[in-house]
């Protein structure tokens, strides 16, 4: 089963939103994947996602059940097929930590979106508009990622 982990700094806003959104979209597309999220820092380990992130996403029907904050583990680099960073700072942190033989797994989430945004900005210290923008960007990238996973399935490169 294809394993995907979404990563931001604290695993409190962006990456849990990506987990909830992509879990929903993958399920609607009939894809059976292991979907998770984590942070490069352990600031919020064990906590629920940010209430503002959940409020914006829940308005669009996304479910955060079972999602809690955790830190990226060494096992993620070995066990996951894709490790998708929300921004370049987290991408750099992941690449520095990732063993050489798994570097190809570490990518930017927004590489799956057709937009001028290359990163998902951190909304933590901003207002409501920031959380709405994050959701919009994650939805766009998730649509592209679903298409990518479907293509992998058709090519039988990955059994999903």
Residue 144 counted as domain residue: yes
CB within 8 A of 51, min separation 6: which ones?
A: none
- Per the residue annotation, which of 13, 14, 69, 80 is the catalytic one? 14
13 is a catalytic site residue: no
Residue 160 counted as domain residue: no
149 is a catalytic site residue: no
pLDDT of 153? 77
Residue 159 counted as domain residue: no
Which one has a higher pLDDT value, 10 or 155? 10
pTM over 0.85: yes
Residue-wise pLDDT for 64-75, tens only, equals 999 999 999 999
Residue 41 counted as domain residue: yes
CB within 8 A of 117, min separation 6: which ones?
A: 110, 137
- Per the residue annotation, which of 52, 81, 122, 149 is the catalytic one? 122
The per-residue pLDDT of the chain, averaged, comes to 95
Beta bridge partners of 34: 3
14 is a catalytic site residue: yes
Residue 37 counted as domain residue: yes
Domain that holds residue 84: 3-154
Structural domain count of the chain: 1
- Per the residue annotation, which of 8, 13, 69, 149 is the catalytic one? 8
- pLDDT tops 50 at residue 105: yes
Looking up residue 16, the CATH number of its domain turns out to be 3.40.50.2300
In angstroms, the CA 9 to CA 14 distance is 9
pLDDT of 160? 45
Residue-wise pLDDT for 108-132, tens only, equals 999 999 999 999 999 999 888 999 9
């Amino acid at each position: 089963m294809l394993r995907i982990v979404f990563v931001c700094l604290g695993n409190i806003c962006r990456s849990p939103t990506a987990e909830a959104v992509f879990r929903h979209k993958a399920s609607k597309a009939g894809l059976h994947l292991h979907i998770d999220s984590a942070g490069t820092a352990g600031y919020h380990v064990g906590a629920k996602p940010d209430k503002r992130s959940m409020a914006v996403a829940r308005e669009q029907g996304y479910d955060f059940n079972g999602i809690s904050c955790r830190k990226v583990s060494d096992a993620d680099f070995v066990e996951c097929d894709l490790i998708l960073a929300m921004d370049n700072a987290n991408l750099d942190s992941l690449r520095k930590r990732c063993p050489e033989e798994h570097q190809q797994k570490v990518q930017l989430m927004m590489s799956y979106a057709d937009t001028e945004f290359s990163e998902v900005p951190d909304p933590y210290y901003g207002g409501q508009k920031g959380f709405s923008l994050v959701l919009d960007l994650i939805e766009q990238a998730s649509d592209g990622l679903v298409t990518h996973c479907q293509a992998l399935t058709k090519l039988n490169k990955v059994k999903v």
